[in-house]
Amino acid sequence: MNTIIHEITRKITKETKKNLENVLYGTDKVSEYIENTQCMLNEIGVKLVKNLFDICEESILLSKERKKEWHIERRNMEKTYITIFGDVRYERTYYKNKKTGEYKYLSDDFLGIEVHERMDMMLQSQLVENAIDVSYSKSGKNTVPNQEFSDQTVMNTIRKLDEIENSIVEKTAPKKKAKNKSEVKILYVEADEDHVAMQDGTNKQVKLVYVHEGLKSEGRNRNALINPVYFTGLYNNKSEQLWLEVADYIYKYYDTEKIEKVYLSGDGAGWIKEGLNWIDKSIYVLDRFHLSKYIRQATAHMPYTTSVMWNYINQGEKEWTNDLFEVILDCTKIKTKREVVIEARRYIMNNWEGIRNQYNPDYIGCSAEGHVSHILSDRLSSRPMGWSRTGADQMARLRVHRKNGGKVYDLMKLKKQAEAKESRIKKLDKRVVKKKLNVSTNETLDNLEILNIGKRSIISEFLKSIRGA
| DSSP codes of every residue in 162-212 | -S--GGGHHHHS-SS-TTS-B--SEEEEEEEEEEEEBTTS-EEEEEEEEEE
For residue 430, pLDDT beyond 60: no
What whole-number distance in Å separates Cα of residue 372 and Cα of residue 208? 7
Q: How far from each other are the two terminal CA atoms of the chain, in whole angstroms?
A: 18
Does the structure show a pLDDT above 70 at 457?
no
Question: 179 exposed, middle or buried (CB, 10 Å; 0-12, 13-18, 19+)?
Answer: exposed
pLDDT of residue 429: 56
Mean pLDDT of 346-351: 96
Is it the case that residue 420 has pLDDT exceeding 70?
no
Q: Identify the pLDDT of residue 169.
A: 72
Stretch 341-360: mean pLDDT, rounded? 96
Residues 6+ apart with CB under 8 A from 275: 189, 191, 209, 239, 243, 246, 264, 266, 282
Q: Tell me what percent of the residues of the chain surpass a pLDDT of 70.
A: 87
Instruction: Please tell me the distance from the alpha carbon of residue 403 to that of residue 375, in angstroms, as a whole number.
Output: 8
The mean of the pLDDT values for the chain is 87
Averaged over 123-132, what is the pLDDT? 95
Q: Is the pLDDT of residue 436 over 70?
A: no
Range name among 357-366, 382-391, 425-434 with the lowest pLDDT average: 425-434
170 has a pLDDT exceeding 90: no
Strand ordering across the sheet containing 87-97: 70-82, 87-97, 103-104
Q: What is the DSSP letter of 144?
A: B
The pLDDT value given to residue 174: 55
Q: Per-residue pLDDT for 271 more than 50? A: yes
Beta strands at 203-212 and 282-286: parallel, antiparallel or unpaired: unpaired
Average pLDDT for 65-80: 93
Whether 89 shows a pLDDT value over 90: the answer reads yes
Pick from 24-28, 182-186, 452-456: least confident: 452-456
Confidence of residue 431 (pLDDT cuts 50, 70, 90): low
Band (pLDDT 50/70/90 cuts) for residue 469 is very low
Look at residue 462 and tell me whether its pLDDT is greater than 50.
no
Q: Which of 186, 228, 227, 192 is nearest to 208 (CA)?
A: 192
Question: For residue 382, is pLDDT > 90?
Answer: no
CA atoms within 13 A on the CB side of 243: 19
DSSP 235: G
Q: Which of 50-54, 74-78, 125-129, 179-183 has the lowest mean pLDDT?
A: 179-183
Task: Work out the average pLDDT over 332-359.
Answer: 96
- Model confidence at 345: pLDDT above 90: yes
- CA-to-CA distance for 191 and 194, rounded, in angstroms? 11
Give 3 or 331, the one with higher predicted confidence: 331
Mean pLDDT within 267-273: 94
Assess whether pLDDT exceeds 50 at residue 414: yes
Position 425 confidence tier, pLDDT thresholds 50, 70, 90: very low
Output the CA–CA distances (angstroms, integers) from residue 111 to 115, 232, 413, in the order listed: 11, 35, 14
pLDDT exceeds cutoff 70 at 262: yes
Statement: residue 351 has pLDDT above 90: yes
Residue 93 has pLDDT above 50, yes or no: yes
In this predicted structure, which of 100-114, 141-155, 171-185, 191-205 has the lowest mean pLDDT? 171-185
SS3 78: strand
- pLDDT (average), residues 342-368: 96
- Note the residue count of the chain: 469
pLDDT value, residue 28: 84
Asked whether residue 450 carries a pLDDT value surpassing 50, the answer given is no
What pLDDT score was predicted for residue 432?
55
Q: Is the pLDDT higher at 264 or at 10? A: 264
**Residue 176 in this model has a pLDDT that exceeds 60:** no
